[in-house]
A and B are shown apart, each in its own frame.
Chain A
Amino acid sequence: MNVDMKIRRPIKWGKILSYAVLIIFAIVYAGPLIMLVNTSLKSLPDFMKSATSLVTSPNFDNFIDAWQKANFPRYLTNTVLYTVTATLVYVVTAIFLAFPVSRGYIKGAKIILFLFIVALFLPPALIPQFQLMLRLGLYNNPIGYILLFTINPIGFTILVNYIKTIPIELDEAAALDGCSYFKFVTMILFPLIRPAVATVAVLHAIGIWNELILPTIYLTSQKYYPITRGMIVFQGVYGSNWPTLAAAVLIMTFPMLLIFLLMQRYIISGLTTGAVKG
């Protein structure tokens, strides 16, 4: 018994209430996932008999089954490749576009900004885009697919607004020191706007990672499928076999969760620092 225990503190109802709400939400978020794990360890007849009952004798065959039936390492590699490349190209081009627009260093800066804000509302131009890719010879081609993800108006406006918070005097001082335009953007500006860049990159990367419609239209070869497409095809084939399907979903989810947990601090802090100024 230590001394603290003897002092009667008022019960913190606010704290208890907070936890209660947080835990209710946690159940809503974790529940479906636990169900997924539970299902993935059942045999099909067990599942047919009772979908909800807790698994008694875990059966890992589903994972072997799912692994053998689908080409997951390929899908995962593809998704990572598309996401990283497109995000990189996008971030670099967007910074070089956002900086002069934000500073008004070019004629027509306002028009460009306006065009990008309009783009927020533009209808998804599936049909003409497809015709374009065909003529470029980039249909069913990873390069063409990556090209589709090299713009993102929301990210652009976040960058423009963030750069406005960097004092213009910095430009003057650097220029006086003989710093060139390219060097200034890459060596001085970039480190200063890193939080915003992180936000934009993460938002953009999540979008690519999760895209489902575009791979359906543009990538027809199985060897180019990203995870999303591979998963939906897998569901088409094994849709009735929930235990195998659940195992497949877990196999797909696992690397994503791992990446997310490893980078979690970075992702969430990146999002929190940059997002508001947009």
Chain B
Amino acid sequence: MNKKHFVFSLLLVLTILLTACASGTETTDDAQPVEEDVTLRVLVHQNPPMVAFMEEFNQAFEEKYPNVTVDMSVVNANDLSTVTQTRLTANDVDVVDMFAFTNAAQPYMKNVDPPNWQTLIEAGYLMDLTGQPFLDNYYESAIADAGTYNGKVYQINLGTVSYSGLYYNKDLFAQYGVEVPTTYDQLVSACETFTAEGIPCMTAGGKDGWPIFVGAYGLIGSIYPDQEALVEGLWTGSIKWNDEKSMEMWDKMKVYAQDMMEEGASGIAGDAAPGRFASGAVAMFAGGTWYAAAIESAEPAFEWGYIPFPGSDDPEDNKYLFGKYDQGWVIAENSPNKETGLLYLTEFSEQENYAAFVNAVGFFPTQPGVTLDTQIGREVAPYLENFRVGYEQYYVAPKGAGQYANPWASYFAPFGTFDDAEELANKVQEDLQSGLDANQ
């Protein structure tokens, strides 16, 4: 062990050979009193309605606390974790927008790496928020499920979203006399009607790949309603991706990817899809609730509705929405501006501010007493009690598992390469099995 440490320190010495003298410039941890001028460095990810809300919120915050300047930077969602990690390690940020704590390693998982948030907490980069008064504004379950690790709270989560629904064009449904589908068969025949009329049935942002599989979540959900159990079953071998039950899912996914999706969907970027739907050219749009704001801003007069994806033939199975806890706030442990950071979160958690926030971004609230008073809020309200956290939030791939070890509809052509459901099912199971076997 000593030798290893020696070699390792040798490498560090090598890298920083020329710079060792400069390492004394680290920032001190002293918390400054709020009365002094403070620049609060806030990092958020790109989501236009949220950014617009935050700009207003920051302005109000600066007016209330004139000694504080908020320096908010915005990064693309894809870069958020990279930038978060680099800025936290560089001690260059105070308050960060971080996605909910998910994908924790479970006892039945062998040899998996901890998720980023866990590493960050263990390395001491996130501030322990346990006992802060503003936590009481939120549902206990939300704090526990999305922001707690080892009994300590590190994040307040700001809302849930659902990704398993279908937007539908009310005008087109009325014009062609199509009923809003509640079973899989009805969905298929609705699509046939539209296609026969020359109207593409569905769209989604196929260029990014994931919007296709996220759109089909309801399909997975109608077959495996308890997705945490699904993940455990996959790891322990009691569920296979090519068993009879799963085959039903793949067969339907094939129809979804190849018959229901419009031609050319594979070229539409994720953020372009709501505009495409709002233009009125397609009958339905498979996507998460977060797209509602974009649809409304693209075409305010456009009439639409939202239903859970009817993946099962039994309408009772189609009343579930699958989703996730979305973003939350954390404070950097090494920040010199912790006090201001706490003040910022306290202000944000005020019911009035929080309600304005969820209504701006379209999250389902994690604060009791706050309602989402938008169209999507009303559309989803009947299903909210059946809200369930999805597979992706539980699954951790075993090391060595292949790149196809997921139930994604986007593996089907034209988004992927597969045409045959059985061939794909076998490949997915094989890729997963290969990882499970490698860790025996």
- Residue positions of A touching B, CB distance < 8 A: 44-45, 48, 128, 130-132, 134-137, 139-140, 216-217, 220-222, 232-233, 236-237, 239-241
Which of B86, B89, B92, B272 counts the most A-chain CB atoms under 10 A from its CB? B86
Q: What is the bound-complex CA distance between A232 and B74, given in angstroms?
A: 12
Could you give 27 example pairs across A and B, Cβ below 8 Å? A44-B275, A130-B86, A131-B16, A135-B16, A135-B22, A136-B19, A136-B22, A137-B25, A139-B92, A140-B90, A140-B92, A216-B79, A216-B82, A217-B86, A220-B43, A220-B83, A220-B86, A221-B73, A222-B73, A233-B76, A236-B77, A237-B48, A239-B271, A239-B272, A240-B269, A240-B275, A240-B294
Q: Are B15 and A131 in contact (CB under 8 A)?
A: yes
Q: What is the bound-complex CA distance between A221 and B92, given in angstroms?
A: 10
Complex: chain B residue closest to A45, CB-CB? B279
Q: Which of A139, A222, A236, A241 is within 8 Å of B86, CB to CB?
A: A139
Q: What is the bound-complex CA distance between A222 and B89, given in angstroms?
A: 19
Complex: chain B residue closest to A134, CB-CB? B90
Q: Which of A132, A139, A237, A241 is within 8 Å of B19, CB to CB?
A: A132
Q: What is the bound-complex CA distance between A182 and B274, given in angstroms?
A: 65
Complex: chain A residue closest to B90, CB-CB? A139
Give the chain A neighbours of B48 by CB distance below 8 A. Answer: 237
Complex: chain B residue closest to A217, CB-CB? B86
Complex: chain B residue closest to A225, CB-CB? B73
Q: What is the bound-complex CA distance between A221 and B26, given in angstroms?
A: 19
Report B40 CB to chain A, min CB distance, Å: 14
Q: Are B275 and A48 in contact (CB under 8 A)?
A: yes
Which of B43, B90, B272 counts the most A-chain CB atoms under 10 A from its CB? B90
B23 at the interface (CB under 8 A from A): yes
Q: What is the bound-complex CA distance between A128 and B8, given in angstroms?
A: 13
Q: Which of B74, B82, B89, B276 is within 8 Å of A134, CB to CB?
A: B89
Give the chain B neighbours of A139 by CB distance below 8 A. Answer: 86, 90, 92
Q: Are B83 and A135 in contact (CB under 8 A)?
A: no
Q: What is the bound-complex CA distance between A137 and B26, given in angstroms?
A: 7
Complex: chain A residue closest to B77, CB-CB? A236
Please report which residues of chain B, range 242-287, place their CB below 8 angstroms from some CB of chain A when the two chains form the complex: 269, 271-276, 279
Q: What is the bound-complex CA distance between A184 and B212, given in angstroms?
A: 66
* Interface residues on chain B, number (Cβ under 8 Å): 33
Report A132 CB to chain B, min CB distance, Å: 5
Report A145 CB to chain B, min CB distance, Å: 13
- How many A-B residue pairs have C-beta atoms within 8 angstroms? Tell me: 66
Q: Are A135 and B23 in contact (CB under 8 A)?
A: yes
Q: What is the bound-complex CA distance between A136 and B87, given in angstroms?
A: 15
Give the chain B neighbours of A236 by CB distance below 8 A. Answer: 46, 76-78
Q: Are B272 and A240 in contact (CB under 8 A)?
A: yes
B75 at the interface (CB under 8 A from A): yes
Q: Are B271 and A240 in contact (CB under 8 A)?
A: yes
Report A144 CB to chain B, min CB distance, Å: 11
Q: Are A220 and B22 in contact (CB under 8 A)?
A: no
Q: Are B22 and A132 in contact (CB under 8 A)?
A: no
Closest 5 CB pairs of A and B: A240-B272, A236-B76, A137-B25, A139-B90, A240-B271
Q: Are B19 and A232 in contact (CB under 8 A)?
A: no
Complex: chain B residue closest to A132, CB-CB? B15
Give the chain A neighbours of B89 by CB distance below 8 A. Answer: 134
Complex: chain A residue closest to B294, CB-CB? A240
Complex: chain A residue closest to B276, CB-CB? A48
Report A48 CB to chain B, min CB distance, Å: 5
> How would you classify the secondary structure of chain A's contact residues: helix, strand, loop or mixed?
helix
Q: Are A220 and B16 in contact (CB under 8 A)?
A: no
Give the chain B neighbours of A135 by CB distance below 8 A. Answer: 16, 19, 22-23
Give the chain A neighbours of B78 by CB distance below 8 A. Answer: 236
User: Do A48 and B279 contact each other (CB < 8 Å), given the known contacts A132-B15, A216-B82, A233-B75?
Assistant: yes
Please report which residues of chain B, range 70-123, place their CB below 8 angstroms from some CB of chain A when the two chains form the complex: 73-79, 82-83, 86-87, 89-90, 92
B 151-170 to A, binary, CB cutoff 8 A, 1 in contact else 0: 00000000000000000000
Please report which residues of chain B, range 24-65, place their CB below 8 angstroms from some CB of chain A when the two chains form the complex: 25-26, 43, 46, 48
Report B415 CB to chain A, min CB distance, Å: 19
Q: What is the bound-complex CA distance between A132 and B87, given in angstroms?
A: 14
Q: What is the bound-complex CA distance between A137 and B92, given in angstroms?
A: 11
Complex: chain A residue closest to B25, CB-CB? A137
Complex: chain A residue closest to B46, CB-CB? A236
Q: Which of A134, A237, A240 is within 8 Å of B46, CB to CB?
A: A237
Q: What is the bound-complex CA distance between A60 and B275, given in angstroms?
A: 21
Report B28 CB to chain A, min CB distance, Å: 13
Give the chain B neighbours of A45 by CB distance below 8 A. Answer: 279
Give the chain B neighbours of A48 by CB distance below 8 A. Answer: 275-276, 279
Give the chain A neighbours of B77 by CB distance below 8 A. Answer: 236
Q: What is the bound-complex CA distance between A139 and B90, given in angstroms?
A: 7
Give the chain A neighbours of B274 by CB distance below 8 A. Answer: 240
Report A249 CB to chain B, min CB distance, Å: 15
Report B319 CB to chain A, min CB distance, Å: 32
Give the chain A neighbours of B43 by CB distance below 8 A. Answer: 220
Q: What is the bound-complex CA distance between A134 and B89, given in angstroms?
A: 8
Give the chain B neighbours of A136 by CB distance below 8 A. Answer: 19, 22-23
Complex: chain A residue closest to B48, CB-CB? A237
Give the chain A neighbours of B276 by CB distance below 8 A. Answer: 48
Complex: chain A residue closest to B299, CB-CB? A45
Q: A140-B92, A233-B75, A240-B269 are in contact. List 12 more A-B contacts (CB 8 A).
A: A48-B279, A131-B16, A132-B19, A134-B90, A135-B19, A135-B23, A139-B90, A217-B86, A222-B73, A233-B76, A236-B46, A240-B272
Q: Are A239 and B269 in contact (CB under 8 A)?
A: yes
Give the chain B neighbours of A241 by CB distance below 8 A. Answer: 275
Q: Are B73 and A137 in contact (CB under 8 A)?
A: no
Complex: chain A residue closest to B16, CB-CB? A135
B 4-24 to A, binary, CB cutoff 8 A, 1 in contact else 0: 000000000001100100110
Q: What is the bound-complex CA distance between A89 and B74, given in angstroms?
A: 32
Report A40 CB to chain B, min CB distance, Å: 17
User: Do A233 and B46 contact each other (CB < 8 Å), given the known contacts A140-B90, A220-B73?
Assistant: yes
Q: What is the bound-complex CA distance between A41 and B314, given in angstroms?
A: 51
Report A222 CB to chain B, min CB distance, Å: 6
Q: Are A222 and B76 in contact (CB under 8 A)?
A: no
Complex: chain B residue closest to A221, CB-CB? B73
Q: What is the bound-complex CA distance between A130 and B92, given in angstroms?
A: 14
Q: Which of A220, A233, A240 is within 8 Å of B92, CB to CB?
A: A220
Give the chain A neighbours of B16 by CB distance below 8 A. Answer: 131-132, 135
Give the chain B neighbours of A134 by CB distance below 8 A. Answer: 89-90
